[in-house]
Structure 1
């Protein structure tokens, strides 16, 4: 029998001492459980992904010093094997680093395995820093059990579709009793189910039980959901760790099966979280960790009385607490009565203070100055955007003066087509809902009310027709197609085959229906052009928390100055 502790931890990128301390604490728990092996996630010592920190002077020296701290700690628990992920120096041709897994025990390094498959797609760019490891399998015998070791992407190519090399096939040839895979797999809708499908299929194909250990926590745009799991060839997924939380759990492995220390394991729920609840938990953890790691305790949101700012405020309260969130209402000449009254109702429901800062006088003064200086009237888009930019300036002044993190409130639909003001409502340090389409913003807002069993977001806000309120009687529908029409087109053009199959088929059917006549076809092409023309805005916008398979930011890299027929 082998006892294995899966240590699913929330590391901070670059905090080598802090990460090492968390690992030592988890190892002590594993030792108390009389575990033979404690498994940490991919690049656990640095957290994933340190990016160009790897190139900073002295960084690798600190990595090596922190690793020696772990080696020294292992001497105090001489029976325990530690599987650790870290970057390591590489001698010879190619990049000077490798992404490795080391097993230590009793102050000695017993094994090192270098990751072979280095992803460069979507949000990943490992080949920028690392040299691939050799095409070899690494197996270690622990208490009579042959344990094979893999790192993340090495286990994702078992159908040989993305790389010429298949480390899983090599691993099978080494005839292990068990495969341990260390991972840093960022979360998006459907990703958990994808992991189960890929590793479940590999387990059945090769007849190998697999323990998959992931990290948890938010790092800038990315959130890692944990959800570490164990899978058996016949039974499938037999254990799953908590999602969106740290989890250190010791399992027994005996006769090819995973068992709890005191009996049978409770298998995971196949369907996982409903989509809206997944969005909620992903965004809340992403904000909480972003604020904590960047040194913010409080956040500020411009409250327009609309659905986007309402949802942003509600999620911020859940992540940081009502006492740490402030709303600011900034009415202008064109603001509706509900802009203020609905904001007041929302903030009462949330227990959040609402500050009032009217901008009509500031806008008038700027307009007069503009006309005096340039002998031209400020009107149209220039005047509309001025209001958004004055609001953005007020919010940034508040942030600078009181130390609050400014949360931008744009959704994916508006960001996609540029229905936002650069240096205005795009101001901020982080966007919470920038990867949610407008129809999803409404759905998630209703979900918050339903799960709370009370009205958090006022019904008046949910019923209100969306408007930027920058001109008399202005409605979003004056400039954009209705969101139920727009969103499927955006999904198909931006995410395409990255969508889950049912969502892809729905979006495809909607777009094909539009393309059936000349007017609809022209609309689709107009939307395509709007997406392309507004890349420059997205490039200058704050990071957004990724919840879908393809988000704006590092996962979608397009040139600004390019010809698009």
Structure 2
């Protein structure tokens, strides 16, 4: 029997000493539990993905020292094999690094394997720094078990859709008893199910059991869910670790079968609960790693800021979140009273900073300088920019992280003000379509069994309140229609399952009419013309398969055909 400890850790990019401390603690527990193998995620030494830190000589020297420290640490756990991930130097033409897997035991390096398939699509850009490893299989005997090793993408090409070579097939030819795959697989809606289906099929195809160990935690826009698992040819997924939490878990492996001394408590999350947990973890880690303990949010009395505040409270605690309401002469009575109710429900402080007089002074100055009244779009955007400035003043003065509140529907078509409501350090709901914002608010209330987000806010007709009697539908189609168009244009074939069928059906019906086709053409133009705004906006937490940011790289100055 081989006892394996999967170590689903939350490494910090660049914090080599801190990451080693995480690995030492997990390895010590594994040794105490009499494990022979402890498995850490991909690039566990540096965190995934270090990016251009890998171009820094000082960083590379720290990596080398880190590997030496891990070799020494392995002496303190006799007989325990540590499977770690780290960048390693290589020689010859091409890039100077490999994305490598190392097996360490008793102060010695027992095995070295370099990742062969380097993803360079969507949010990935590994070919920027790494050279593909040689087309070889690496197997190590640990006790009576022959263990073969893969690194993340190497296991995703069993059907040869994306690469000419298939490391899984080459490893299967070496006839191991078990495959161990180390991963840094980002989380998005539908990703868990995709992993399970792909690796279950590969396990059955090659008649090989497999252990899949993934990292957890938020890094900038990307969140990793962990959710490590084991599959067998006959049983499919037979074990899964919890999602969105750090954990270590022991599995016993013998004669192709995994057994677990304790239950893991994994669960399938419905979409809204998935969004909620991913956002909360993403914000918590972003704030912690950037040195923030508190957040500030502009409270408009609308649904976007309400949802942002509720999620921030869950991530950081009510004592660490501040709301600021900034009424103007166009603000409705409800925008302030609803903000008061929301903050009372959340248990957070609400501060008020009216902007009526500031707007008036800007108007007088504009008229005096340019002999023209300040009106229309310029006046509307001015209000948003004044509010953004006030929020940044507060952030600078008191050290709070400013959270921006734009949703994906509005960001897509530029229904936001650059240097105004786009100000901030992080966007929590920028990958949620507006219809999903409503759904997540209802889910939060339902889960709490009480009204966290006031129903008056959820039921209110969306409005920017920057002009008299303004409504979002003055500028945009109804959000259910807009979101169908946006999902098809932005995500398209990346949509999964029932959502893909629903969106394609509705979109086909829409473009089947002259009015609908004209609307789609208009939305295409709005998306293209507002790329410059998205390029300057703060990072947003990625929730879906294609999010704005590194996962969608479009030019600003280009000719688009509509």
TM exceeds 0.5? yes
Equivalent residue, structure 2, for 1:239: 239
TM-score, normalised on structure 1? 0.99
**Superposition deviation, residue 501 in structure 1:** 2.5
Contact 1:511–1:524 at 8 Å: present in 2 too? Answer: no
How many Å separate the matches in 1 of 2:457 and 2:173?
61
Aligned pair partner of 1:361 in 357, 364, 373: 357
Structure 2 counterpart of 1:496, from 492, 499, 503: 492
Please give the per-residue CA displacement for 1:349-408, whole angstroms capped at 9, x wherever unaligned.
Answer: 000100000001001101111111111211110000000000000000000000000000
Take 1:260 and 1:486, find their aligned partners in 2: how far apart are those partners?
Answer: 48
Give the unaligned 5+ runs of structure 2.
none
| Unmatched 5+ stretches in structure 1 | none
The correspondence of residues 256-271 of structure 1 with structure 2, limited to 5 A, is 256-261=256-261, 269=267
- Counterparts of 2:524 and 2:376, CA distance in 1: 24
1:13-65 deviation per Cα after TM superposition (whole angstroms, max 9, x unaligned): 00000000110000000000110000000000001000001001211100111
Q: How does 1:150-549 map to 2 (within 5 A)?
A: 150-261=150-261, 269=267, 272-549=268-545
Distance 2:31 2:452 in 1: 46
> Partners of 2:153 and 2:169 in 1: how far apart?
14
**Is this contact kept in 2: 1:239–1:267, CA < 8 A?**
no
Return the alpha-carbon distance in structure 2 between the equivalents of residues 515 and 196 of structure 1: 36
In the other structure, the counterpart of 1:147 is 147
- 1:552: how far off? 0.2
Q: Please tell me the root mean square deviation across aligned C-alpha atoms, in Å.
A: 0.8
After TM superposition, the score normalised by the length of structure 2 is 0.99
Cα deviation, residue 254, structure 1: 0.8
Runs (4+) of structure 1 exceeding 6 A deviation are none
Match in the other structure for 1:44: 44
Deviation string, structure 1 residues 57-77 (Cα, Å, up to 9, x no partner): 211100111111111011111
Matches within 5 A, 1:59-138: 59-138=59-138
Identify if the C-alpha distance between structure 1 residues 267 and 276 changes in structure 2 by more than 3 Å, giving closer, same or farther.
closer
- Change in Cα spacing, 1:266 to 1:402, as seen in structure 2 (3 Å) is closer
Distance 2:372 2:109 in 1: 74
Cα distance in 2, alignment partners of residues 118 and 374 from structure 1: 57
Residues 484 and 507, structure 2, Cα contact 8 Å, conserved in 1: yes
SS in 2 for 1:75: helix
Deviations 1:423-461 (A, max 9, x none): 000000000000000000000000000000000000110
| Aligned partners of 2:295 and 2:321 also within 8 Å | yes
For the residues of structure 2 that align with 1:110 and 1:91, how far apart are their CA atoms?
Answer: 21
Provide the C-alpha distance between the structure 1 equivalents of 2:51 and 2:145, rounded to a whole number of angstroms: 36
SS in 1 for 2:136: coil
Deviations 1:462-481, CA, capped at 9 Å, x for gaps: 11000000000000000000
**In structure 2, the residue corresponding to 1:58 is in which secondary structure?**
helix
- Number of residue pairs matched by the alignment: 561
Residue in structure 2 matched with residue 7 of structure 1 by the alignment? 7
